[in-house]
């Protein structure tokens, strides 16, 4: 047995069923061993697509995703996808090929310092120098990736190690791995639990912020029970969507820069803030000095480094979100006899009535009949079709990044955990399409819809080839405004409408591109057609692309960066007016007129040295 075969055996031992990758010279022994394996390999069109697909697979399944890229450019192409997983605490093992050990440091063909490149974006880095280290390294990588705060782990695998002889009897796969110094805390401290319970009982205006950590911990059942037991309203972060059913009477929607009015007002006026599995990023807090100014803060997180990092905390609890909530519920039941004292809190009843009035007064308009189509109408019709086709329990959304992401986050009601997949921390355009591939592989029985903008879609448009080759039946909904909508909105709001490099031309025709891959596709320009086209796509057992031509002037309500959460402003309604210059215009500007170039007064005096001016 060679090292490469031992590596494949180690992956199989970890329960890996599928890997996403792209082969290359430094990985030929690995792929030769893969030939004899039952592992499913999905050949993406780009290593970034492989990383995002593995990430989508991990987020939906809760298992460790695996992606593979060769040495040099193969490794660097994985970087954005791995960094995306790191920012969102998604368990991933990224495997890169490497030149033979004897050539490391000699600038060999396709050699790169993969360990140095991956170091800041992974939980741990491994480079295997001896084949006998393969079983233990793979076990350690998976253990680190999936425990504590999950995240990506990188394994660099030199080619000669893959080819080296390996004796499985002398180097068996360890049944258990012990990692000195790595012991994540999962149980909350009893004293802190008791303090949290007392604070919950005493509070009149409590609110919960549920972050991605609740989804990761599979803590939805406990979150719902805690909220209902104590009559505490719940808002979520972007990564926390799905952790609490958004049609629940206690649901307030998403909080933060693009949050709902009830959620933002609740956090701004609460007297107790219970943050569970969130890291208080700037997109959540706005002006940190005015964030939850009246509140005592309970922060529950499995990563102690996150507690107190951005927001001062009164009651810190380090532990797994699910287990900590379970202990809090147990303690509450003992203290309050089914929460009777909490539910009889007069101040809390008034608080709930106030928030309910905010919810009623801020119901968004979504049934627009305008042409070009308003994105709100698409979201409404999508929710209606899901309801009509009874798909609520088997429906997954992946989004790209930009306005399309925030329209979905703001308006689309999510009912179950691990069904709203998006790039939150890094905000990676191009994430949505390959993530949908991974999501569908993770849950083949589910309907998977990728909602993307035209900009993000074009960043990984080549993955249509992957979808077509394997016949992966995902539905792709493009919010097509031929504009980098979020950048355009910010330029209009904060840069005096000076639009610069935010407009696309009419190329390509997405329907023709999809059909070129053999994928069914339609363009929708009339709002009355939205529902029927969505139904046709969702009832199909084949891949399907829908190009929705939307209003480029439509924006999102938002809190300006660094301002108070209550300061929600409406977008400036303005159509793009930027003109894309032709190549001839660019050429003329670059070369200019030869006579003008010889005139000294045209030399920018402030930006050239005396020597340069003399040379002119």
Q: Active-site residue 109, yes or no?
A: yes
22, 417 in Cβ contact below 8 A? Answer: no
Q: Active-site residue 390, yes or no?
A: no
CA distance 516 to 525: 21
Catalytic annotation, pick one of 5, 14, 47, 222: 47
Half-sphere exposure of 492 (CA within 13 A, CB side): 24
Q: Active-site residue 494, yes or no?
A: no
Catalytic annotation, pick one of 63, 123, 159, 261: 159
Structure tokens given for 310 = 């951005």
Q: Position of tokens 């539910």?
A: 343
Can you spell out the DSSP letters for 321-341? HHHHHHHHHHHHHHHHTTTHH
For 194-213, give the secondary structure using H, E and C.
HHHHHHHHHCCCEEEEECHH
299, 291 in Cβ contact below 8 A? Answer: no
Over the range 531-558, which residues count as b (16 or more CB within 10 Å of their CB) and which as e? bebbeebbeeeebbbbbbbbbbbbbbbb
Catalytic annotation, pick one of 296, 486, 489, 499: 486
215, 247 in Cβ contact below 8 A? Answer: no
Least Cα distance to 168 among 132, 142, 138 occurs for 132
Catalytic annotation, pick one of 109, 221, 494, 588: 109
Q: What are phi and psi of 448, to 5 degrees?
A: -115, 125
**Segment (H or E) for 382:** helix 375-388
User: Please, what's the largest Cα pairwise distance for the chain?
Assistant: 91
CA distance 55 to 78: 11
Catalytic annotation, pick one of 17, 110, 392, 566: 110
Q: Active-site residue 159, yes or no?
A: yes
285 burial via Cβ count (<10 Å: 0-12, 13-18, 19+)? buried
Catalytic residue numbers, as ranges: 47, 109-110, 159, 486
């Amino acid at each position: 047995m060679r090292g490469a075969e031992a590596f494949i055996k180690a992956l199989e031992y970890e329960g890996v069923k599928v890997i996403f990758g792209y082969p290359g010279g430094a990985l030929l022994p690995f792929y030769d061993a893969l030939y004899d394996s039952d592992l499913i390999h999905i050949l993406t069109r780009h290593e970034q697509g492989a990383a995002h697909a593995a990430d989508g697979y991990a987020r939906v399944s809760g298992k460790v995703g695996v992606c593979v890229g060769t040495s040099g450019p193969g490794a660097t192409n994985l970087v954005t996808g791995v960094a995306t997983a790191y920012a969102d605490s998604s368990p991933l093992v990224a495997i890169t090929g490497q030149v033979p050990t004897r050539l490391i440091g000699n600038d060999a063909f396709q050699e790169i310092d993969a360990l140095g490149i991956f170091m800041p974006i992974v939980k741990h880095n491994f480079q295997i120098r001896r084949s006998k280290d393969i079983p233990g390294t793979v076990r350690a990588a998976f253990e680190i990736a999936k425990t504590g705060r999950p995240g990506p782990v990188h394994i660099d695998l030199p080619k000669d190690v893959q080819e080296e002889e390996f004796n499985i009897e002398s180097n068996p796969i360890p049944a258990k791995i012990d990692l000195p110094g790595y012991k994540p805390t999962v149980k909350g401290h009893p004293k802190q639990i008791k303090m949290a319970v007392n604070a919950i009982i005493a509070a009149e205006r409590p609110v919960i912020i549920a972050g991605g950590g609740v989804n990761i911990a599979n803590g939805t059942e406990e979150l719902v029970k805690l909220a209902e037991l104590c009559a505490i309203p719940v808002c979520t972060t972007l990564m926390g969507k799905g952790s609490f059913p958004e049609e629940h009477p206690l649901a307030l929607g998403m909080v933060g820069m693009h949050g709902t009015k009830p959620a933002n007002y609740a956090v701004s006026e609460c007297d107790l803030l219970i943050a569970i599995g969130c890291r208080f990023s700037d997109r959540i807090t706005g002006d940190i000095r005015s964030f939850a100014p009246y509140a005592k803060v309970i922060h529950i997180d499995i990563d102690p480094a996150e507690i107190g990092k951005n927001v001062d905390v009164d009651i810190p609890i380090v532990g797994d979100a699910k287990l900590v909530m379970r202990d809090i519920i147990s303690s509450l039941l003992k203290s309050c006899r089914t929460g009777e004292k909490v539910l009889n809190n007069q101040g809390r009843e008034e608080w709930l009535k106030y928030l309910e009035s905010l919810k009623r007064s801020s119901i968004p308009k979504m049934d627009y009949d305008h042409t070009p189509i308003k994105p709100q109408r698409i979201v409404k019709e999508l929710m209606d079709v899901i309801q009509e086709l009874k798909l609520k329990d088997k429906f997954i959304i992946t989004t790209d990044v930009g306005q399309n992401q925030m329209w979905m986050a703001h308006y689309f009601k999510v009912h179950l955990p691990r069904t709203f997949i998006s790039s939150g921390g890094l905000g990676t355009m191009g994430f949505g399409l390959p993530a949908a591939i991974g999501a569908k592989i993770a849950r083949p029985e589910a309907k998977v819809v990728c909602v993307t903008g035209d900009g993000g879609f074009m960043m990984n448009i080549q993955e249509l080839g992957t979808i077509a080759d394997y016949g992966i039946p995902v539905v792709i909904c493009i919010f097509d405004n031929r504009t980098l909508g979020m950048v355009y909105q910010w330029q209009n709001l904060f840069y005096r409408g000076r639009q610069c490099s935010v407009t696309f031309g009419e190329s390509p025709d997405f329907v023709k591109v999809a059909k070129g891959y053999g994928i069914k596709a339609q363009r929708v320009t009339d709002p009355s057609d939205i529902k029927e086209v969505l139904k046709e796509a969702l009832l199909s057992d084949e891949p399907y692309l829908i190009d929705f031509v939307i209003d480029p002037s439509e924006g999102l309500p938002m809190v300006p960066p660094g301002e108070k959460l209550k300061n929600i402003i409406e977008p400036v309604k303005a159509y793009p007016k930027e003109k894309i210059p032709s190549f001839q215009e660019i050429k003329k500007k670059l070369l200019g007129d030869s006579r003008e170039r010889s005139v000294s007064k045209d030399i920018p005096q402030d930006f050239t040295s005396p020597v340069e001016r003399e040379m002119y």
